[in-house]
Amino acid sequence: MPDVLGYARISTSDQDLEVQRRRLREEAGAIRVFEDVISGKSFDRPGLAELLGYARPGDTVCVVRLDRLGRSLKELLETVDGFKARGLAFRSLEERLDTASAAGELVFHVFGAIAHFERRLIVERTRDGISAARARGKRPGRPPLDADKLASALTLIQAGQRPAQAAKQLGLGRSTLYRELASLRMDPPATPNLDPEQHSSPPLPSPPADR
């Protein structure tokens, strides 16, 4: 018989998972609740990975709210598509969604259409912004490098100054200058060899032998 598996997630250790655990067990009948505590920019979900390793085709993954499963519509749809590929159903208590039903499946198709629509809007807005910038005489992308500054930097480097020092002195970005050096196939000046054996004075001549 298929089982209901709960998934609970909180953003920081200061929050409490107990409310989600209780609702998943009592309202959804989850036989087991898998948990994640995710903070910062990282979105690694070892608890969800453990759930997927435990689940069998026909089981249902249940969450209290949709935002427990993904931080964006795109992320949510990708995760639910992964469930579907494994033969798992998905249910959310707050939104009363269940992909095992025709209505729940339809809702996720609508979500997918909305995500596709948002992606197309972003592409169109980017394209319109570039066209508007060109119409105003602006060139999108990285601003061109000042040729006089580059020539001055090359002169300093050929005189023995380090590229980082030349860039700082002329107000250029270090990465920009190194990129230009690479395009011109110029190697930065080598670091002086400080080996005392290679910089010692030449040996004194031996005194003449007695005759």
Catalytic residue set: 11
Taking each helix axis as running N to C, give the angle between helix 163-170 and helix 174-183, from 0 to 180 degrees, rounded to the nearest 10. 120
Q: Pairing mode, if any, of strands 97-98 and 89-92?
A: antiparallel
| Contact status, residue 49 vs residue 87, Cβ threshold 8 Å | no
| Contact status, residue 146 vs residue 171, Cβ threshold 8 Å | no
Q: Which amino acid is at 154?
A: L
**Rg for the chain (alpha carbons), in Å?**
32
Report how far apart, in Å, the C-alpha atoms of 53 and of each of 47, 88, 166, 192, 207 are: 10, 12, 56, 58, 86
Residue 17 DSSP label: S
Residues forming a β-bridge with 36: 9
> What is the full DSSP assignment across 121-142?
HHHHHHHHHHHHHHHTT---SS
Helices within 141-207 (DSSP H only): 147-158, 163-170, 174-183
In the numeric block, which tokens belong to residue 107?
A: 């809702």
Establish how many alpha carbons lie within 13 A of residue 59's alpha carbon, considering only the half-sphere containing its beta carbon.
Answer: 20
